[in-house]
A and B are shown apart, each in its own frame.
Chain A
Amino acid sequence: MRRALAFLRSAVSFPAVSLGVGVAALTAPATAATLFMGSYPDRILAFDEDKGAITGSMRLETGLPTSMQSSQDGKKIYVTTITTSGIEVIDTATRQITNRFSLNDGATKYRFSSGAPDAAGNFFYTIVTRIDKGTDKYTVGKPQYAKIDLKRQTIVQTADVEEKDERSGGGRAALKVSPDGRFLYVFGKKILVVDTADLKVVERIDLAKPDGTGMENVGFGRALDAIDASGQFVSLFNATDPYVHNKVFGVARFDLNSRRFDFAPIGPAPESMAGLQVAPDGKEAYTVVTTGKYGNKRCEFWRFDLAESRVLDKAEFQCRSRFTFGLSGDASKLYIYGASYDIEVYDARTLKHETTWDLGHDTTGAGMVVVR
């Protein structure tokens, strides 16, 4: 906590400087993209943004997708499924399943809802709960960090999640592996840094993902919706000052290899926020801020200038009871989807509704992966 607050205090003095360093590294050309979306009952849809139509569909033999994670080069998508506790790997160029297996084995079953591959694609890290069926009872294990060998298609190493960390992340936390493969980051109520050699927590950082709206973050596979370039992870986080405990939100940048981070506060933390969606050029970003509940619920798009760390624009829109927020590959469109079979499309510049795309399939909590 002390370390996080020290960063907070320093960032308050020099927010523009600390953010400006990261922006240059995030620059990338914008191109048309394909959206890969988890859908019912057991499919991944490929959706062409330019055509506004489905161009492919892949059936997952291990069942219903609950999370998706893109490899760092965007060439593979790692999908977790719940029906048989499976993992399937999709080649985004050929749209073929290149690897698939289930962790369930007879009387032993596992529950997990997300995970992250290492950069080499050899191992997949997640948090599992093991359930053993005995002759007279089921034995439910404690949550465990698990290292899955993708070639051997089995769990090769586990370690119990410490009790104090169970509510910090649990099975729904967003996971990310550092480019050098040494650390697993668990982004939950706190940020846990786990050594991948022995699966023990080596550091706890008191920055929290902003509270989501209702169940929209179930699965958390899409919670890693921020950019990562050169081993950097960028997202919105909440922090609290040490004196009056005022909660503020801001942009944090992590160097996943060195475990260093900086945090640039932007303003008082809203009631709830969706994840940060950053444009490919790294200059601007978007989120959805939600206030109120039930009949009083109001939703706004917020557009950020990342270089100057300030909010550029806001606009209210009619939101669903439950939804997920996304951004097109060229950052020209904002997407609202989830808990339905369609995607509502908004113009990223005007923040006005443009059209609605019918997918023909309800989308699952696996969300969306954008491949450029």
Chain B
Amino acid sequence: MKHLKPINRKARRIDDLVASMDEDVVALAQPRPHVPMGCSLSFSPGWEVDASGGTAGLCQPVERDIYDCYVTCFWPVQVPDHVNYSADWASNCAAATKDWRSLDLVFP
């Protein structure tokens, strides 16, 4: 398509749109940005809803999903961060669904 040049305003807008997709600003765009630390740029919904705005996509009960989010920082606002500052949060609780009361308290 490089041999085509826009000659009217509508074509130029299309050309600009295509060119904008090659910009290096990727913070909230697709493809997903590379976030090596994992815990600072997650804007996904929390425990209350899934990505569709409903609840059917959540683990049932949601306590089943706490730990993988804790380790991978998938929902850093809702659960402590295992990697950076709360490695012992779950040390007294092997099964979150059964004994979540044993989870440690975390104060910022």
Contact = CB atoms under 8 A, between A and B. Distances in A.
Interface stretch (A253-261, A298-306, A360-368): A360-368
A341 B67 contact: no
Contacts of A64: 71, 82
A215 B56 contact: no
Q: Is the interface of A mostly helix, strand, loop or mixed?
A: loop
B27 to A, nearest CB: 16
Contact of A41 (B36, B58, B60, B93): B93
Given A294-B54, A320-B59, A340-B64, A364 B95 contact: no
B83 A82 contact: yes
Contacts of B38: 111
Contacts of B54: 294-295
A77 to B, nearest CB: 20
A126 interface: no
A321 B49 CA distance: 13
Interface residues of A, number: 36
Interface residues of B, number: 32
Interface string B68-102: 10011010000000110001001101111110000
Contacts of A322: 59, 65, 68
B36 A339 contact: no
A39 interface: yes
A327 B64 CA distance: 22
B17 to A, nearest CB: 23
Q: Is the interface of B mostly helix, strand, loop or mixed?
A: loop
Interface-centre pick from B57, B82, B98 (highest chain A CB count, 10 A): B57
Interface in B12-64: 31, 34, 36-38, 50-52, 54, 56-60, 64
A42 B58 CA distance: 25
A42 B82 CA distance: 12
B50 A294 contact: yes
B57 A340 contact: no
Contacts of A40: 67, 90, 93-96
A41 B57 CA distance: 25
Nearest to B50: A294
Contact of A218 (B37, B68, B90, B94): B68
B50 A365 contact: no
A157 interface: no
A131 B64 CA distance: 31
Contact of B64 (A82, A339, A360): A339
Contacts of A364: 67-68, 71
Contacts of A295: 54, 56-57
A293 B65 contact: no
B46 to A, nearest CB: 15
A310 to B, nearest CB: 33
A166 B26 CA distance: 16
A111 B36 CA distance: 8
Contacts of A158: none
12 contacts: A63-B87, A66-B71, A111-B37, A215-B74, A294-B52, A297-B56, A320-B64, A322-B59, A339-B64, A359-B95, A360-B94, A364-B67
Per CB-CB distance, the 8 closest pairs between chain A and chain B, nearest first, are A295-B56, A294-B57, A341-B95, A361-B94, A294-B56, A321-B59, A140-B36, A41-B90
Given A294-B56, A320-B59, A321-B57, 11 more contacts: A40-B67, A82-B82, A131-B36, A140-B36, A140-B37, A218-B72, A294-B52, A339-B59, A341-B98, A359-B95, A364-B67
